[in-house]
């Protein structure tokens, strides 16, 4: 159970960092729209992100 909790804490920490990055990029403007799209995708499908990149 402790291992599960540490994994979940790590995931939540990553998501918080991604959210911070998202808001920062939104403030910068739309020239970073591709990066925003990638971060949103990562947030929605954390496990599939690398697989999706491999398919391209």
Over the stretch 6-54, which tens digit does the pLDDT of each residue have?
Answer: 888 888 998 898 888 878 777 766 556 677 677 777 777 666 655 555 5
The number of domains in the chain is: 1
pTM summary value: 0.42
Report CA-CA distances (Å) from 46 to 21, 25, 28, 30, 36: 16, 20, 24, 23, 15
Range of the domain at 45: 2-55
Q: Which one is predicted more confidently, 56 or 39?
A: 39
């Amino acid at each position: 159970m402790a291992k599960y909790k540490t994994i979940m804490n790590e995931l939540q920490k990553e998501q918080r960092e991604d959210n911070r990055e998202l808001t920062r990029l939104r403030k910068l403007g739309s020239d970073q729209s591709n990066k925003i799209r990638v971060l949103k995708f990562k947030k929605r499908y954390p496990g599939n992100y690398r697989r999706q990149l491999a398919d391209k």
